Amino acid sequence: MTAVVINGREVALASRTRTTQRVQSFVDQHGRAPGLATILIGNDPASEVYIRNKRRSATDAGLIDVHHHLPADVTQNTVAQLIDDLNADPAVSGILLQLPLPDGLDQTELINRISPAKDVDGLTTLSQGRLARGVDGLWPCTPAGVIELLDATGVTIEGAHAVVVGRSELVGHPAAELLLRRNATVTIAHSRTRDLAAVTSTADILVVAAGIPALIGRDHVKPGAAVIDVGIHRTESGLIGDVRFDNVLDIAGWITPVPGGVGPMTIATLLSNTVVAAESSAR
166 binds ligand NAP (CB under 6 A): yes
Shortest separation between residue 175's beta carbon and ligand NAP, angstroms? 9
SS3 203: coil
The contact pattern for ligand NAP, residues 186-205, with x = CB under 6 A and - = no contact, is ---xxxxx--x---------
Catalytically annotated residue among 121, 204, 229, 242: 121
Of 212, 214, 239, 249, the one binding ligand NAP (CB under 6 A) is 212
Measured from each CB, the residue nearest to ligand NAP is: 168
Angle at Cα 73 formed by Cα 67 and Cα 79, nearest 5°?
45
Shortest separation between residue 223's beta carbon and ligand NAP, angstroms? 21
Q: Among this protein's residues, is 29 annotated catalytic?
A: no
Select 33 or 165, whichever has its Cβ closest to ligand NAP.
165
Shortest separation between residue 49's beta carbon and ligand NAP, angstroms? 12
44 residue type, one letter: D
* CA nearest neighbour of 251 among 3, 58, 66: 3
> Going along 79-212, which residue ranges are E strands?
94-97, 161-165, 185-189, 205-208
Select 175 or 275, whichever has its Cβ closest to ligand NAP.
175
State how far the Cα of 201 lies from the Cα of 196, in Å rounded to an integer.
8
State how far the Cα of 79 lies from the Cα of 107, in Å rounded to an integer.
11
Helix 263-282 with 45-60: angle, nearest 10 deg: 50
Select 62 or 145, whichever has its Cβ closest to ligand NAP.
145
State how far the Cα of 23 lies from the Cα of 271, in Å rounded to an integer.
10
Shortest separation between residue 1's beta carbon and ligand NAP, angstroms? 26
Is the separation of the CB atoms in 63 and 36 below 8 Å?
A: yes
Shortest separation between residue 230's beta carbon and ligand NAP, angstroms? 4
Q: Among this protein's residues, is 118 annotated catalytic?
A: no
The residue count for the chain: 283
Active-site residue list = 54, 98, 121
Binding residues for ligand NAP, rule: CB under 6 A, are 142, 165-168, 170-172, 189-193, 196, 209-212, 215, 230-232, 262-263, 266
